[in-house]
Amino acid sequence: MGAANGHGETLSLAMDDGHSYSFECAPDAVLISETGVTGLLDIRGGGGKVGDAPGSTMPEGAAVMALYGGKGDPKFLPASYAPNRKMGWDLTIKLAKRDKQLDVLTKSEMMSLFTTGFTAAVSLEAADQKMFADFLARCRA
């Protein structure tokens, strides 16, 4: 947690050696990223697999991601993307600071960043919910 490289405060969660979630407070939004996403499917281009190896290309419209809190259907948004230095892709979506989807982080018992490939659920305890509530309060101030 904290500001990095001149950017706003960031919350990061390392899930394993190749995957992580991060939430960054930008001037007009919260940037939500997942690193090391593999197994993506090109749902707009017929459902074929997106390459994970270095040098692979991302088909137009295949990079999508959703913040999900365990209820309802994920709201997929177009994601910006960059090749991950090890394998797969780093995906980022941008939500307005007051987007109601962010509030799920302060109440839900789980969250995930849904993609068409690798997706992992993260349990949220009361302390985690408070950490997100505090982060959002500072970011929205």
Tens of pLDDT along 97-133? 999 999 999 999 999 999 999 888 899 999 999 999 9
d(CA 131, CA 136): 9
Which residues, 6+ apart, have CB-to-CB distance to 121 below 8 Å?
70, 110, 111, 112
User: Average model confidence (pLDDT) for the chain?
Assistant: 90
Is a pLDDT exceeding 50 seen at residue 1? no
Distances (CA, A) of 85 to 18, 56, 74, 119, 140: 10, 12, 28, 19, 32
The whole-model pTM stands at 0.90
| Six token digits for residue 10 | 């960031």
d(CA 131, CA 86): 30
| Secondary structure of residue 126 in the 3-state scheme | helix
**Contact in structure between 47 and 32 (CB atoms under 8 Å):** no
Pick the CATH number of 2-140 from 3.30.70, 2.60.40, 2.40.70, 1.25.10: 2.60.40
